Structure 1
Amino acid sequence: MTSLSLKNIKKAFGRTEVIRGIDLEIEDGEFVVFVGPSGCGKSTLLRMIAGLEDVTSGDLFIGGKRVNEVQPAKRGVAMVFQSYALYPHLNVRDNMGFGLKVRGEKPAAIVARVEEAAETLQLGPLLDRFPRELSGGQRQRVAIGRAICGNPDVFLFDEPLSNLDAELRVHMRAEIAALHKRLANTMVYVTHDQIEAMTLADKIVVLRGGQIEQVGTPRDLYNNPANVFVAQFIGSPKMNILPGAFVAERLSAGGIYVPAGKVVGMRPEHLHVAGMDDAVLNGRVVLAEYTGAGSLLHVDVGGGETVLVTHEGQDEPPNGDNIALGIDRENVHILTPA
């Protein structure tokens, strides 16, 4: 059983503290995604788990064993980086088996492990090619295959898809999800892309400024964000946030009370064009962005506030139209400002 446990983990570079007391439990076999804006500490935290960065203070456990001083090679982890880090002079077969060769594994065992990993990732026809002869997605699969060959207890992914184009990212996301299903290993994945987090994770850890803002399943974070930062980071397009006083009177008519100092969140897909009697907001369409299945409306609701509205169908209101907006009351979020 390979769980991870982080207890009051801190990391400082000189006087600059970048990880500020992280407490986190990752269960055996979970796919956990660290997500957050650039500079939030997610890659540093991953590197600390891998042993590539020292822990300034706190305790790090892998499989119940404290590993603060354990060398990276002895932690039972394998890391897949943003750059593929393949040896250009070695073919796919030798790249995948290189780590095993360095560890002194028998040649027959190396061949068996490489072929097994190649079958898992559908790399068999590519084993004799060199990295220069592969596409970006194929190179990333080779890097993942090299990690699989090491038979690790824990896989660590540091933004592995960020160098790929949009279509290939979608394909590789599906491949990584299928890989986790087949292997059932514990996986920790770092990304700044909340779509990757939502589609891959069993559990998401939202980080900001070296601290955890919220931990939960994708549905938990989407439907019950803890604060404005999480509400706007998770979800695309992001949640609309309005001052409580701006809509308090309208919401109170529907039985929703907005406490002083709170703000109101409404996701674009929960707002809809409505009749005046059902309106929570009134505004003017500033821009209607056609998306194929519908449109994304930018609506000026006064007071210097603009909201986004997901409008289905092909009959979006034109720019400049005055419209009324309604919302299902159960989809209103009362939040603490960021």
Structure 2
Amino acid sequence: MTKLRLKNIKKRFGGTEVIRGVDLEVDDGEFVVFVGPSGCGKSTLLRLISGLEHISDGELHIGDRQMNEVQASQRGVAMVFQSYALYPHLTVRENMGFGLKVRKVPAPERRRRVEEAAATLKLEALLERYPRELSGGQRQRVAIGRAIVGNPNVFLFDEPLSNLDAELRVHMRSEIAALHNRLSTTMIYVTHDQVEAMTLADKIVVLRDGLIEQVGSPRALYDRPDNMFVAQFIGSPKMNILPVENVRRLSRTAKVPESAESIGIRPEHLDLAPPSEGALNGKVRLAEYTGAVTLLHIELPDGQTCLVVHDGRNGLEIGTDVGLRTGTESLHFFDRNGRAIREKVHMAPA
């Protein structure tokens, strides 16, 4: 069983502390995604787990063993980087087996492991090709295959799809998810893309400024964010945050917690209404048509913009006056410090 435990992990570069006390447990076979904005420390944290960076303070355990002073090659982990880092003069077979050759694994065993990994990743027909003869997605699969042949206890992925185009990213996401289902190996995956995090993860770790903001399943983070940062980072398009006085305009049945300063409403939980029906009013300033839906940017009287997911078949002209109201979905309430207030109020239609 390969479980990871991080206890008060810190990392300093000179006088700057970039990881500021991280506590986390990753269960055996779990797919965990580190997500957060650029500079939040997610890649640094992954490198601390891999052994590519030294831990300044705290303890890292992989399985039953403390790993702080254990060399990267002895930790039983394999890392897949954003850059494929394939040797251009070696074939796919040679690239995948190179690490085993360095470790002096006998040739028959190397061949067996490479062919098993190639079958898992559907690379059998490409084993004798060179990297220049492969597409970006195929090269990334070779990089993953190179990690698989080492039979690691833990896979670490550092933004492995960032160099791929949008269509190929979607395809490779599904391949990585299928790979995890087949191998049932513990995987930790770093991305700045919250859509990748939502679609891949068993558990998401949201990081900001070297600290964990929240840990939970994709559904838990979407439905019950701990604070305003997580509420707006998880979910696409992002949650609307409005002054709390707008609640009563949206619904006369709302009971507002006394400590609430702001309300959060997801764009998909807002409905359009005629301005004359007494809902919160605004003007359409931008309409982003994506096919099935249109994302409307509604300018409110105070100048704030509110996002609304609308039926893509029914367009609205720029400048159109509209009303907004809630359906029966929950509102999210936040106090003056941006912390979630757990009193959830289910709204009746206005």
Please classify the TM superposition score into its range, dividing by the shorter chain length: over 0.9
Question: Does the CA-based 8 Å contact 2:6-2:61 persist in structure 1?
Answer: yes
- Contact kept? 1:251, 1:257, Cα under 8 Å: no
Matching of residues 235-314 of structure 1 within 5 Å: 235-245=235-245, 247-250=246-249, 253-260=252-259, 262-275=261-274, 280-314=279-313
Q: Distance in 2 between matches of 1:192 and 1:313?
A: 28
- Residues 1:264 and 1:278: Cα distance change in structure 2 (over 3 Å): farther
Amino acid at match of 1:180: H
Residues in 2 aligned to 1:294 and 1:111: alpha-carbon distance in whole angstroms: 50
* Aligned twin of 1:323: 322
- The 3-state SS of whatever aligns with 2:319 is coil
Quick one: distance in 2 between partners of 1:98 and 1:22?
Answer: 35
Q: Residues of 2 paired with 1:311 and 1:108: CA distance?
A: 59
Shift of 1:261: 5.3
- Aligned CA distance change for structure 1 residues 11 and 280 (closer, same or farther; 3 Å): farther
Alpha-carbon distance between aligned partners in 2 of 1:85 and 1:259, rounded to the nearest angstrom: 56
- Which one is further off, 311-320 or 328-337? 328-337
Structure 2 spans left out of the alignment, 5+ residues: 339-350
Name the structure 1 match of 2:20. 20
**What SS does the aligned partner of 1:47 have?**
helix
Identity of aligned residues (%): 66
The change in CA–CA distance for 1:168 and 1:186 in structure 2 (over 3 A counts) is: same
Deviation at 1:278, TM superposition (A): 6.2
Per-residue CA deviation, residues 43-87 of structure 1 (Å, 9 max, x unaligned), is 000000000000000000001210000011110000000000111
1:140 aligns to what? Answer: 140
In 1, Cα distance between the equivalents of 2:287 and 2:235?
Answer: 20
Paired position in structure 2 for 1:104: 104
Please report how far the alpha carbon of residue 223 of structure 1 lies from its aligned counterpart in structure 2 after TM superposition. Answer: 1.0
Task: Give matches, 1:169-208, under 5 Å.
Answer: 169-208=169-208
Range 85-94 or range 324-333, more displaced:
324-333
Q: Distance in 1 between matches of 2:52 and 2:334?
A: 38
Q: CA deviation at 1:258?
A: 4.3
Counterpart CA distance in 2 for 1:64 and 1:277 is 66
Secondary structure class of the residue paired with 1:324 = strand
Q: Is the partner of 2:329 in helix, strand or coil? A: helix
**Secondary structure at 1:182 match in 2:** helix
Amino acid across the alignment from 2:334: L
Partner of 2:229: 229
1:256: how far off?
2.6
In 2, Cα distance between equivalents of 1:126 and 1:280: 60
Judge conservation of contact 1:280–1:327 (CA < 8 Å) in 2. Answer: no
Equivalent-residue separation in structure 2 for 1:295 and 1:205 (angstroms): 30
- In structure 2, relative to structure 1, the CA distance for the partners of 1:173 and 1:292 (3 Å cut) is same
Shift of 1:275: 4.5
Q: Which amino acid aligns with 1:32?
A: V
Unmatched runs of 5 consecutive residues or more in structure 1:
none
| d(CA) in 1 for partners of 2:73, 2:230 | 35
Give the C-alpha shift of residue 219 in structure 1.
Answer: 0.4
C-alpha RMSD over aligned residues: 1.4
- Provide the C-alpha distance between the structure 2 equivalents of 1:269 and 1:155, rounded to a whole number of angstroms: 35
CA shift at 1:313, angstroms?
4.2
Q: Which residue of 1 aligns with 2:82?
A: 82
Residue equivalent to 1:47? 47
Tell me if structure 1 keeps the 8 A contact 2:260–2:334: no
Look up the match of 2:155.
155
Residues 78-127 of structure 1 show CA distances to partners (whole Å, capped at 9, x for unaligned) of 00000001111111001000111111111000000000000000000100
Q: Given the superposition, is the C-alpha separation of residues 200 and 206 from structure 1 closer, same or farther in structure 2, using an over 3 Å criterion?
A: same
Alpha-carbon distance, 1:329 to partner: 4.8
The number of equivalent residue pairs is 337
Contact 1:37 1:208 in 2 (8 A): yes
Superposition deviation, residue 31 in structure 1: 0.1
Given that residues 157 and 189 in structure 1 are in contact (C-alpha distance below 8 angstroms), is that contact kept between their aligned partners in structure 2? yes
Structure 1's consecutive aligned runs of 4 or more residues displaced over 3 angstroms after TM superposition are 258-261, 275-280
**2:53 and 2:327 mapped to 1: Cα distance?**
48
Residues 121 and 83 of structure 1, relative CA distance in 2, 3 Å threshold: same
- Counterpart of 2:11? 11
